[in-house]
Amino acid sequence: MSTLERGVTFVLGGARSGKSSFAEGLIEASGMDAVYVATGRAWDEEMSERIGLHKERRGASWVTIEEPFDLVGTLQNECADGKAVLVDCLTLWLTNLMMAERNIEAETAKLVAVLPLLKGAAVFVSNEVGLGIVPENRMAREFRDDAGRLHQAVASAAATVYFVAAGLPLKMKG
C-alpha cells in the first residue's frame, strides 16, 4: 500500500474493480482521521443495499458525510491537517448534478479550484466510463463526455493518480 500525504489522490476504475477498497486502504494506512463523503443516493432498494455494504466494510472508525451536491463546501469544512477525506464517488456526484440540471462545467471548475487549497489529504474515487462502446442515447453520451472532462480536470490537479482493474492498482501519476 502506498503512502498517503497531504494533497489530492485520484483513483479511477471500472465497476467492481476494487477502486473503493484500494482508496479506503490508502486512508486507513495513513493513520489520519478518516472521513468518508458519500455522494450516492439510495434511489431504490438495491442502491440502499450497496450503501449499507460500503458502510459495513468501513466500520465505525470512519466519519460518514452524505453529500450529493456540495463537494466544495464539504471539502473546505472537512479536509484539514491530520484528516484524510475520501469522496466516493465523482460519477455519482456527476449524476446528481445532471439530474438536478446543474451547470457541470461550472461545478467542475469550482471543485478543481478548491483542490490546491485543501489542508489535508483528499482521495477521489470515480468510475471510468469511457472505455466501452459509444452509448446509444444522448443523455448517456453527455454523461460519458462530462465524466471524461471531469476526470481530466481532477487528474490534472491531483498529485497522484491510480487506475484499478481486477483489484490491482496501476500508478499513472505521482
- Enumerate the active-site residues: 54
Cα separations in angstroms, 8 against 34, 73, 151: 15, 16, 13
CA atoms of 16 and 8, how far apart (whole Å):
23
CA distance 6 to 164: 21
CA distance 160 to 43: 32
C-alpha cell at 170: 496501476
Q: How far is residue 152's CA from residue 53's CA, in Å, rounded to a whole number? A: 29
Residue in 145, 72, 81, 84 with CA at minimum distance from that of residue 113: 72
